[in-house]
Amino acid sequence: MPQLSRTPARRFHPTSRITQALVAGLAGLCGLTGAAAASETATPVASLTITEINTSTHPFTTLHCARQPVQVRFFHNIAEVVLNGKSQMLVQAMSASGARYVAPGDESTALWNKGNASTLTWEGQQLPVCAPAGAILAPWRASGNEPFWSITYDGWQATFTRPGADPQKGDATITATTSDSQSLQVGHGATTWQITATDGLCTDTMTGMPHPQHVSTRVGSETFHGCGGSPERLLQGSQWHFTHIGTQPVNPAAQAWIEFLPGNRIAGSSGCNRFFGTYTLTGEALTFDGLGSTRMACTPEAMTQEDALLKRLGEINGFSLSEPDTLTLRTPDSTLQANPSK
Write down the CATH number for the domain with range 238-340: 2.40.128.270
pLDDT in the model for residue 12: 36
The helix/strand/coil state of 229 is coil
Say if pTM beats, i.e. exceeds, 0.85.
Answer: no
Choose between 47 and 194: higher pLDDT: 194
Whole-number Cα distances in Å, 286 to 49, 212, 253, 334: 55, 16, 29, 15
CA distances from 170 to 147, 186, 188, 324 (A): 22, 5, 8, 39
Report pLDDT for 281: 96
Mean pLDDT of 266-275: 98
pLDDT digits over 180-236, tens only? 999 999 998 878 999 999 999 999 999 999 999 999 999 989 999 999 999 999 999
- Asked if pLDDT for residue 29 goes beyond 70, the answer is no
Tens-digit pLDDT profile for residues 133-181 = 999 999 999 999 999 999 999 999 999 999 999 999 999 999 999 999 9
Assess whether the previous peptide bond of 210 is cis (omega < 30° from 0). no
If one compares 103 and 54, the residue with the highest pLDDT of the two is 103
Of 22-26, 86-90, 148-152, 227-231, give the lowest mean pLDDT range.
22-26
Q: Distance (Å, rounded) from C-alpha 89 to C-alpha 99?
A: 15
CATH (one of 2.40.128.200, 2.30.130.30, 3.10.20.30, 2.60.40.1110) for 61-131? 2.40.128.200
Round to whole Å and give the CA distance between 97 and 74: 18
CB within 8 Å of 255: residues ≥ 6 apart: 241, 269, 271
